Structure 1
Amino acid sequence: MVARSLFVPTLGWNMLLGRVLRVRRWWDRVDEHLVLGALPLARDIPSLQEERVAGVINTCEEYAGPVTAYEQAGIEQLRLPTIDFTHPSLDSVQRGVSFIERHAATGNSVYVHCKAGRARSATIAICWLMAFRNLSPADAQQLLIDRRPHVNAKLTSRPVVQEFHALMSRSPQA
Protein backbone atom coordinates (compact mmCIF):
# COMPACT_ATOMS: atom_id res chain seq x y z
CA MET A 1 0.00 0.00 0.00
CA VAL A 2 2.85 2.38 0.81
CA ALA A 3 4.47 1.76 -2.59
CA ARG A 4 1.22 2.63 -4.38
CA SER A 5 0.77 5.84 -2.41
CA LEU A 6 4.32 6.90 -3.31
CA PHE A 7 3.95 6.14 -7.03
CA VAL A 8 2.56 9.51 -8.15
CA PRO A 9 4.90 11.72 -6.08
CA THR A 10 7.99 9.75 -7.08
CA LEU A 11 6.87 9.65 -10.72
CA GLY A 12 6.54 13.44 -10.54
CA TRP A 13 10.09 13.64 -9.22
CA ASN A 14 11.33 11.42 -12.06
CA MET A 15 9.46 13.54 -14.62
CA LEU A 16 11.04 16.68 -13.17
CA LEU A 17 14.56 15.23 -13.35
CA GLY A 18 14.17 13.53 -16.72
CA ARG A 19 11.70 15.53 -18.77
CA VAL A 20 11.85 19.06 -17.34
CA LEU A 21 15.34 19.64 -15.94
CA ARG A 22 16.89 16.95 -18.17
CA VAL A 23 19.53 16.04 -15.61
CA ARG A 24 18.75 12.36 -16.22
CA ARG A 25 18.06 10.64 -19.51
CA TRP A 26 14.67 8.94 -19.74
CA TRP A 27 16.34 5.85 -21.21
CA ASP A 28 19.78 4.61 -22.14
CA ARG A 29 20.96 2.02 -24.62
CA VAL A 30 22.90 -0.66 -22.76
CA ASP A 31 23.91 -2.68 -25.82
CA GLU A 32 22.62 -3.40 -29.31
CA HIS A 33 19.62 -5.34 -27.95
CA LEU A 34 18.83 -3.72 -24.61
CA VAL A 35 17.44 -0.30 -23.73
CA LEU A 36 16.87 0.46 -20.03
CA GLY A 37 14.69 3.30 -18.87
CA ALA A 38 11.77 4.89 -17.12
CA LEU A 39 8.15 4.21 -17.95
CA PRO A 40 7.40 5.16 -21.55
CA LEU A 41 4.45 7.25 -22.63
CA ALA A 42 2.58 6.96 -25.92
CA ARG A 43 4.52 9.97 -27.23
CA ASP A 44 7.76 8.00 -26.80
CA ILE A 45 6.77 5.23 -29.22
CA PRO A 46 8.25 6.85 -32.38
CA SER A 47 11.59 7.34 -30.60
CA LEU A 48 11.54 3.76 -29.36
CA GLN A 49 10.88 2.57 -32.90
CA GLU A 50 13.97 4.52 -34.02
CA GLU A 51 15.87 2.46 -31.42
CA ARG A 52 14.59 -0.77 -33.12
CA VAL A 53 12.50 -1.63 -30.07
CA ALA A 54 10.18 -4.51 -30.92
CA GLY A 55 9.46 -5.56 -27.34
CA VAL A 56 8.87 -3.88 -24.00
CA ILE A 57 9.23 -5.43 -20.57
CA ASN A 58 7.08 -3.53 -18.10
CA THR A 59 7.94 -4.31 -14.48
CA CYS A 60 5.53 -1.71 -13.06
CA GLU A 61 2.76 -3.18 -10.96
CA GLU A 62 1.12 0.24 -10.93
CA TYR A 63 1.27 1.14 -14.65
CA ALA A 64 -0.05 -0.90 -17.58
CA GLY A 65 1.76 1.18 -20.20
CA PRO A 66 0.45 2.68 -23.45
CA VAL A 67 -1.04 -0.66 -24.54
CA THR A 68 -3.01 0.69 -27.52
CA ALA A 69 0.01 2.62 -28.82
CA TYR A 70 2.15 -0.52 -28.53
CA GLU A 71 -0.42 -2.54 -30.46
CA GLN A 72 -0.64 0.09 -33.19
CA ALA A 73 3.17 0.17 -33.47
CA GLY A 74 3.52 -3.61 -33.48
CA ILE A 75 5.46 -3.62 -30.21
CA GLU A 76 5.01 -6.66 -27.98
CA GLN A 77 4.74 -5.98 -24.24
CA LEU A 78 5.60 -8.47 -21.52
CA ARG A 79 4.13 -7.40 -18.19
CA LEU A 80 5.96 -8.61 -15.13
CA PRO A 81 4.12 -6.63 -12.43
CA THR A 82 6.41 -5.99 -9.47
CA ILE A 83 5.57 -3.76 -6.52
CA ASP A 84 7.74 -0.64 -6.41
CA PHE A 85 10.70 -0.78 -4.01
CA THR A 86 10.87 -4.59 -4.33
CA HIS A 87 12.60 -6.83 -6.85
CA PRO A 88 11.07 -9.14 -9.46
CA SER A 89 10.64 -12.82 -8.64
CA LEU A 90 13.05 -15.36 -10.07
CA ASP A 91 10.30 -16.54 -12.43
CA SER A 92 9.78 -12.98 -13.68
CA VAL A 93 13.52 -12.52 -14.18
CA GLN A 94 13.76 -15.75 -16.16
CA ARG A 95 10.76 -14.83 -18.30
CA GLY A 96 12.24 -11.37 -18.93
CA VAL A 97 15.67 -12.74 -19.86
CA SER A 98 14.06 -15.18 -22.32
CA PHE A 99 11.95 -12.39 -23.83
CA ILE A 100 15.03 -10.22 -24.43
CA GLU A 101 16.93 -13.11 -25.98
CA ARG A 102 14.02 -14.00 -28.28
CA HIS A 103 13.92 -10.44 -29.63
CA ALA A 104 17.73 -10.17 -29.76
CA ALA A 105 17.84 -13.31 -31.91
CA THR A 106 15.84 -11.42 -34.56
CA GLY A 107 18.16 -8.39 -34.42
CA ASN A 108 15.71 -6.22 -32.49
CA SER A 109 15.88 -4.43 -29.17
CA VAL A 110 13.84 -4.64 -26.00
CA TYR A 111 13.02 -1.67 -23.77
CA VAL A 112 13.01 -2.77 -20.13
CA HIS A 113 11.41 -0.33 -17.73
CA CYS A 114 10.04 0.31 -14.31
CA LYS A 115 9.04 3.73 -13.03
CA ALA A 116 12.54 5.23 -13.10
CA GLY A 117 14.67 2.60 -14.83
CA ARG A 118 16.87 2.14 -11.79
CA ALA A 119 15.99 -1.05 -9.90
CA ARG A 120 13.14 -3.39 -10.92
CA SER A 121 13.96 -3.15 -14.61
CA ALA A 122 17.70 -3.05 -13.97
CA THR A 123 17.39 -6.34 -12.07
CA ILE A 124 16.20 -8.03 -15.26
CA ALA A 125 18.83 -6.20 -17.32
CA ILE A 126 21.73 -7.30 -15.11
CA CYS A 127 20.57 -10.91 -15.27
CA TRP A 128 20.34 -10.78 -19.06
CA LEU A 129 23.86 -9.36 -19.25
CA MET A 130 25.14 -12.16 -17.04
CA ALA A 131 23.33 -14.85 -19.03
CA PHE A 132 23.86 -13.73 -22.62
CA ARG A 133 26.93 -11.53 -22.43
CA ASN A 134 28.66 -13.95 -20.06
CA LEU A 135 29.49 -11.13 -17.66
CA SER A 136 30.17 -11.61 -13.98
CA PRO A 137 27.67 -9.92 -11.67
CA ALA A 138 30.23 -7.19 -10.90
CA ASP A 139 31.03 -6.59 -14.58
CA ALA A 140 27.34 -6.52 -15.51
CA GLN A 141 26.68 -4.04 -12.70
CA GLN A 142 29.53 -1.83 -13.90
CA LEU A 143 28.28 -1.91 -17.49
CA LEU A 144 24.84 -0.77 -16.32
CA ILE A 145 26.37 2.03 -14.25
CA ASP A 146 28.54 3.10 -17.19
CA ARG A 147 25.50 3.26 -19.49
CA ARG A 148 22.92 4.54 -16.99
CA PRO A 149 24.73 6.26 -14.11
CA HIS A 150 21.70 6.56 -11.83
CA VAL A 151 20.95 2.83 -11.87
CA ASN A 152 20.85 1.15 -8.45
CA ALA A 153 24.51 0.51 -7.60
CA LYS A 154 23.76 -2.52 -5.42
CA LEU A 155 21.87 -4.78 -7.81
CA THR A 156 24.34 -7.61 -7.24
CA SER A 157 23.30 -7.77 -3.58
CA ARG A 158 19.66 -8.45 -4.47
CA PRO A 159 18.76 -12.03 -3.52
CA VAL A 160 17.11 -12.69 -6.89
CA VAL A 161 20.28 -11.63 -8.76
CA GLN A 162 22.37 -13.92 -6.56
CA GLU A 163 19.89 -16.77 -7.05
CA PHE A 164 19.88 -16.25 -10.83
CA HIS A 165 23.69 -16.25 -10.88
CA ALA A 166 23.80 -19.43 -8.79
CA LEU A 167 21.39 -21.14 -11.20
CA MET A 168 23.54 -20.06 -14.15
CA SER A 169 26.66 -21.37 -12.43
CA ARG A 170 25.04 -24.80 -11.95
CA SER A 171 23.69 -24.92 -15.50
CA PRO A 172 25.55 -27.18 -17.95
CA GLN A 173 25.53 -24.24 -20.43
CA ALA A 174 27.46 -22.01 -18.02
Structure 2
Amino acid sequence: MSSPNCCPDDGPVDMQPRKLDEMRSPPAGDSDDVVDYMQQALTSARKAAYFWGSLTATVVPGYFGRKMGLVHDFLHWNFITDRCILGALPVVTKFGDSGNHLVQLAGQLRTKDQELGLVVACMEEIEIQGFGVPVITFADETAWRQYVNPDVEYCHVPLEDATADVSFDVVVSAVEQIYQCVDVRKETAYIHCKAGKGRSWMMVMCYLTTYGNMKYADAENLVRANRPQVSPSQPQRDFAMCFAQRMKACKNAASCLTRS
Protein backbone atom coordinates (compact mmCIF):
# COMPACT_ATOMS: atom_id res chain seq x y z
CA MET A 1 0.00 0.00 0.00
CA SER A 2 1.60 3.25 -1.10
CA SER A 3 1.49 6.38 1.02
CA PRO A 4 -0.32 9.52 -0.10
CA ASN A 5 1.72 12.71 -0.38
CA CYS A 6 0.35 14.09 2.87
CA CYS A 7 1.79 11.14 4.83
CA PRO A 8 4.92 10.13 2.91
CA ASP A 9 6.62 6.90 3.90
CA ASP A 10 10.13 7.85 4.93
CA GLY A 11 11.25 4.24 5.01
CA PRO A 12 12.69 2.57 8.10
CA VAL A 13 13.52 4.97 10.90
CA ASP A 14 16.78 4.58 12.78
CA MET A 15 15.51 4.04 16.32
CA GLN A 16 19.02 4.03 17.80
CA PRO A 17 19.83 7.38 19.45
CA ARG A 18 23.17 8.99 18.80
CA LYS A 19 25.42 8.91 21.83
CA LEU A 20 26.48 12.24 23.26
CA ASP A 21 30.14 11.21 23.07
CA GLU A 22 29.80 10.80 19.32
CA MET A 23 28.82 14.44 19.05
CA ARG A 24 31.63 15.71 21.26
CA SER A 25 34.64 13.98 19.69
CA PRO A 26 36.02 15.63 16.53
CA PRO A 27 36.93 13.32 13.66
CA ALA A 28 40.55 12.53 12.89
CA GLY A 29 40.01 12.77 9.14
CA ASP A 30 40.52 15.30 6.37
CA SER A 31 39.34 18.90 6.31
CA ASP A 32 35.92 17.94 4.90
CA ASP A 33 35.33 15.68 7.89
CA VAL A 34 36.26 18.49 10.25
CA VAL A 35 33.92 20.91 8.47
CA ASP A 36 31.09 18.37 8.66
CA TYR A 37 31.77 17.86 12.35
CA MET A 38 31.76 21.59 13.04
CA GLN A 39 28.46 21.98 11.18
CA GLN A 40 26.93 19.15 13.20
CA ALA A 41 28.24 20.65 16.44
CA LEU A 42 26.79 24.05 15.54
CA THR A 43 23.43 22.48 14.72
CA SER A 44 23.47 20.63 18.03
CA ALA A 45 24.33 23.84 19.90
CA ARG A 46 21.45 25.67 18.25
CA LYS A 47 19.06 22.84 19.13
CA ALA A 48 20.29 22.86 22.72
CA ALA A 49 19.78 26.62 23.03
CA TYR A 50 16.28 26.32 21.59
CA PHE A 51 15.46 23.34 23.80
CA TRP A 52 16.43 25.05 27.04
CA GLY A 53 15.00 28.41 26.02
CA SER A 54 11.63 27.05 24.95
CA LEU A 55 11.46 24.67 27.92
CA THR A 56 12.04 27.57 30.30
CA ALA A 57 9.47 29.70 28.50
CA THR A 58 6.94 26.88 28.73
CA VAL A 59 7.45 25.38 32.18
CA VAL A 60 8.53 28.30 34.34
CA PRO A 61 5.56 30.65 33.66
CA GLY A 62 3.12 27.82 34.30
CA TYR A 63 4.83 26.82 37.55
CA PHE A 64 5.05 30.32 38.99
CA GLY A 65 1.65 31.23 37.57
CA ARG A 66 0.09 28.39 39.55
CA LYS A 67 2.07 29.29 42.67
CA MET A 68 0.78 32.88 42.43
CA GLY A 69 -2.77 31.81 41.62
CA LEU A 70 -2.69 33.39 38.14
CA VAL A 71 -3.25 30.18 36.17
CA HIS A 72 -4.67 26.83 37.19
CA ASP A 73 -4.74 24.69 34.04
CA PHE A 74 -1.14 24.85 32.74
CA LEU A 75 -0.12 21.54 34.29
CA HIS A 76 2.89 19.41 33.39
CA TRP A 77 0.52 16.68 32.23
CA ASN A 78 -3.22 16.23 31.73
CA PHE A 79 -5.58 13.29 31.39
CA ILE A 80 -7.17 13.53 27.93
CA THR A 81 -9.25 10.41 28.52
CA ASP A 82 -9.50 8.26 31.63
CA ARG A 83 -6.29 6.40 30.76
CA CYS A 84 -4.55 8.55 28.14
CA ILE A 85 -2.19 11.23 29.49
CA LEU A 86 -0.68 13.98 27.34
CA GLY A 87 2.21 15.76 28.98
CA ALA A 88 5.63 17.33 28.95
CA LEU A 89 8.94 15.58 29.52
CA PRO A 90 8.95 14.86 33.27
CA VAL A 91 11.70 16.35 35.41
CA VAL A 92 13.35 13.89 37.79
CA THR A 93 15.43 16.48 39.65
CA LYS A 94 13.61 17.86 42.69
CA PHE A 95 13.49 21.61 43.33
CA GLY A 96 11.81 22.53 46.60
CA ASP A 97 8.21 21.33 46.39
CA SER A 98 8.42 20.89 42.61
CA GLY A 99 9.48 17.49 41.22
CA ASN A 100 10.31 14.64 41.12
CA HIS A 101 7.53 14.53 38.52
CA LEU A 102 7.64 10.74 38.28
CA VAL A 103 7.07 10.37 42.02
CA GLN A 104 4.14 12.78 41.76
CA LEU A 105 2.69 10.91 38.79
CA ALA A 106 3.07 7.54 40.52
CA GLY A 107 1.17 8.91 43.52
CA GLN A 108 -1.57 10.32 41.32
CA LEU A 109 -1.99 6.99 39.55
CA ARG A 110 -2.23 5.18 42.89
CA THR A 111 -5.07 7.44 43.99
CA LYS A 112 -6.86 6.57 40.76
CA ASP A 113 -6.09 2.87 41.20
CA GLN A 114 -4.34 2.88 37.84
CA GLU A 115 -1.12 1.34 36.59
CA LEU A 116 1.17 2.95 34.03
CA GLY A 117 1.55 0.47 31.21
CA LEU A 118 3.16 2.52 28.45
CA VAL A 119 5.28 5.60 27.85
CA VAL A 120 5.53 7.05 24.34
CA ALA A 121 8.40 9.54 24.05
CA CYS A 122 7.97 11.63 20.89
CA MET A 123 11.31 13.42 20.86
CA GLU A 124 15.00 13.01 20.18
CA GLU A 125 17.10 11.07 22.67
CA ILE A 126 19.54 13.97 23.02
CA GLU A 127 16.64 16.14 24.25
CA ILE A 128 15.75 13.56 26.87
CA GLN A 129 19.38 13.76 28.01
CA GLY A 130 19.12 17.56 28.23
CA PHE A 131 21.79 17.96 25.54
CA GLY A 132 24.31 16.81 28.11
CA VAL A 133 23.62 19.66 30.55
CA PRO A 134 23.70 18.05 34.03
CA VAL A 135 21.73 20.75 35.87
CA ILE A 136 18.39 18.98 35.48
CA THR A 137 17.73 15.28 34.96
CA PHE A 138 14.79 14.31 32.79
CA ALA A 139 12.83 11.06 32.68
CA ASP A 140 14.46 8.48 30.44
CA GLU A 141 13.49 4.83 30.08
CA THR A 142 15.45 3.81 33.17
CA ALA A 143 13.86 6.52 35.34
CA TRP A 144 10.33 5.54 34.32
CA ARG A 145 11.00 1.97 35.43
CA GLN A 146 12.74 3.07 38.62
CA TYR A 147 10.11 5.50 39.88
CA VAL A 148 6.80 4.43 38.34
CA ASN A 149 6.61 0.85 37.09
CA PRO A 150 9.50 -1.58 36.56
CA ASP A 151 7.49 -3.36 33.88
CA VAL A 152 6.29 -0.33 31.92
CA GLU A 153 6.63 -0.52 28.14
CA TYR A 154 8.70 2.27 26.61
CA CYS A 155 8.16 3.36 23.01
CA HIS A 156 10.63 5.91 21.62
CA VAL A 157 9.55 7.79 18.49
CA PRO A 158 12.43 10.09 17.47
CA LEU A 159 10.97 13.40 16.26
CA GLU A 160 12.57 16.81 15.87
CA ASP A 161 10.77 19.67 17.57
CA ALA A 162 7.95 21.30 15.58
CA THR A 163 8.15 18.67 12.83
CA ALA A 164 6.18 15.64 11.71
CA ASP A 165 9.23 13.96 10.19
CA VAL A 166 8.39 10.37 11.04
CA SER A 167 7.32 7.43 8.91
CA PHE A 168 3.69 6.43 8.79
CA ASP A 169 4.55 2.88 9.88
CA VAL A 170 6.27 4.05 13.07
CA VAL A 171 3.20 6.04 14.11
CA VAL A 172 0.91 3.11 13.28
CA SER A 173 3.02 0.90 15.54
CA ALA A 174 2.99 3.46 18.38
CA VAL A 175 -0.77 3.98 18.12
CA GLU A 176 -1.27 0.21 18.20
CA GLN A 177 0.76 0.08 21.43
CA ILE A 178 -1.40 2.83 22.95
CA TYR A 179 -4.51 0.86 22.00
CA GLN A 180 -3.17 -2.36 23.51
CA CYS A 181 -2.29 -0.52 26.73
CA VAL A 182 -5.39 1.63 27.17
CA ASP A 183 -8.18 -0.38 25.56
CA VAL A 184 -7.05 -3.99 25.87
CA ARG A 185 -5.04 -4.15 29.12
CA LYS A 186 -6.93 -1.22 30.72
CA GLU A 187 -3.68 0.43 31.80
CA THR A 188 -2.64 4.07 31.51
CA ALA A 189 -0.42 5.52 28.79
CA TYR A 190 1.73 8.67 29.12
CA ILE A 191 2.48 10.31 25.77
CA HIS A 192 4.99 13.15 25.86
CA CYS A 193 7.41 15.31 23.95
CA LYS A 194 9.34 18.26 25.38
CA ALA A 195 6.42 20.48 26.39
CA GLY A 196 3.43 18.27 25.57
CA LYS A 197 2.15 20.73 22.99
CA GLY A 198 3.09 19.54 19.51
CA ARG A 199 4.71 16.20 18.76
CA SER A 200 2.87 14.32 21.50
CA TRP A 201 -0.34 16.18 20.54
CA MET A 202 0.04 14.65 17.08
CA MET A 203 0.46 11.15 18.52
CA VAL A 204 -2.56 11.47 20.82
CA MET A 205 -4.66 12.79 17.93
CA CYS A 206 -3.63 9.81 15.80
CA TYR A 207 -4.85 7.50 18.57
CA LEU A 208 -8.12 9.33 19.25
CA THR A 209 -9.12 9.51 15.58
CA THR A 210 -8.52 5.80 15.04
CA TYR A 211 -8.96 3.53 18.04
CA GLY A 212 -10.72 6.33 19.92
CA ASN A 213 -13.37 6.39 17.17
CA MET A 214 -13.49 10.18 17.23
CA LYS A 215 -13.88 12.66 14.39
CA TYR A 216 -10.87 14.90 13.92
CA ALA A 217 -12.63 18.07 15.10
CA ASP A 218 -14.07 16.33 18.15
CA ALA A 219 -10.68 14.88 19.09
CA GLU A 220 -9.02 18.27 18.66
CA ASN A 221 -11.60 19.94 20.87
CA LEU A 222 -11.25 17.25 23.53
CA VAL A 223 -7.48 17.62 23.69
CA ARG A 224 -7.60 21.41 23.86
CA ALA A 225 -10.33 21.35 26.51
CA ASN A 226 -8.15 19.20 28.75
CA ARG A 227 -4.76 20.71 27.85
CA PRO A 228 -5.26 24.34 26.73
CA GLN A 229 -1.58 25.03 26.05
CA VAL A 230 -1.32 22.65 23.08
CA SER A 231 0.16 24.38 20.04
CA PRO A 232 0.83 21.98 17.16
CA SER A 233 2.66 23.11 14.06
CA GLN A 234 0.92 22.98 10.69
CA PRO A 235 2.91 19.89 9.58
CA GLN A 236 1.79 18.11 12.77
CA ARG A 237 -1.83 19.05 12.17
CA ASP A 238 -1.58 17.90 8.55
CA PHE A 239 -0.01 14.58 9.56
CA ALA A 240 -2.69 13.88 12.17
CA MET A 241 -5.49 14.66 9.72
CA CYS A 242 -3.97 12.56 6.96
CA PHE A 243 -3.32 9.70 9.39
CA ALA A 244 -6.98 9.64 10.39
CA GLN A 245 -8.10 9.61 6.76
CA ARG A 246 -5.73 6.85 5.77
CA MET A 247 -6.46 4.65 8.78
CA LYS A 248 -10.18 4.92 8.12
CA ALA A 249 -9.60 3.08 4.85
CA CYS A 250 -7.86 0.18 6.60
CA LYS A 251 -9.48 -2.74 8.35
CA ASN A 252 -6.93 -2.62 11.17
CA ALA A 253 -3.58 -1.09 12.04
CA ALA A 254 -1.55 -3.99 10.63
CA SER A 255 -3.20 -3.71 7.22
CA CYS A 256 -2.13 -0.05 7.03
CA LEU A 257 1.56 -0.80 7.29
CA THR A 258 3.30 0.11 4.04
CA ARG A 259 5.46 -3.01 4.37
CA SER A 260 2.42 -5.31 4.49
Say which of 200, 211, 219 aligns to 1:121. Answer: 200
**Sequence identity percentage:** 28
Does residue 125 of structure 2 align to residue 63 of structure 1? no
Equivalent residue number for residue 150 of structure 1: 229
Say which of 82, 94, 103 aligns to 2:172. Answer: 94
TM superposition shift of 1:153: 6.2
Matches of 1:35 and 1:147, distance apart in 2: 10
Q: Show the 5 A alignment for 1:30-45.
A: 30-42=80-92, 43-45=100-102
TM superposition shift of 1:77: 1.7
TM superposition shift of 1:156: 9.1
Equivalent residue number for residue 258 of structure 2: none
Q: Which consecutive unaligned segments of at least 5 residues does structure 1 have? A: none
Q: Show the 5 A alignment for 1:1-174.
A: 1=43, 2-22=46-66, 23=71, 24-42=74-92, 43-49=100-106, 50-51=108-109, 52-61=115-124, 62-64=127-129, 65-72=139-146, 73-74=149-150, 75-87=152-164, 89=166, 90-104=168-182, 105-152=184-231, 158-172=237-251
The amino acid of 2:209's aligned partner reads M
Note closer, same or farther for the CA distance 1:130–1:155 as it changes in structure 2 (3 Å cut): farther
Note closer, same or farther for the CA distance 1:173–1:103 as it changes in structure 2 (3 Å cut): closer
Q: Deviations over 1:24-83 (max 9, x none)?
A: 111100012200011112322233223232211111212153332222232322111111
The amino acid of 1:13's aligned partner reads A
Matches of 2:165 and 2:201, distance apart in 1: 10
Matches of 1:119 and 1:161, distance apart in 2: 11
The amino acid of 1:99's aligned partner reads Q
Matches of 1:70 and 1:157, distance apart in 2: 26
Q: Deviations over 1:90-121 (max 9, x none)?
A: 23321221121111111111111111111100
Is the 1:127–1:161 contact (alpha carbons within 8 Å) kept by the matching residues of 2? yes
Note closer, same or farther for the CA distance 1:19–1:157 as it changes in structure 2 (3 Å cut): closer
Query: Which structure's CA Rg is the greater one?
Result: 2
Q: Which consecutive unaligned segments of at least 5 residues does structure 2 have? A: 1-42, 93-99, 110-114, 130-138, 254-260
The TM-score with structure 2 as length reference comes to 0.61
- Residue-pair matches, total: 174
The TM-score with structure 1 as length reference comes to 0.88
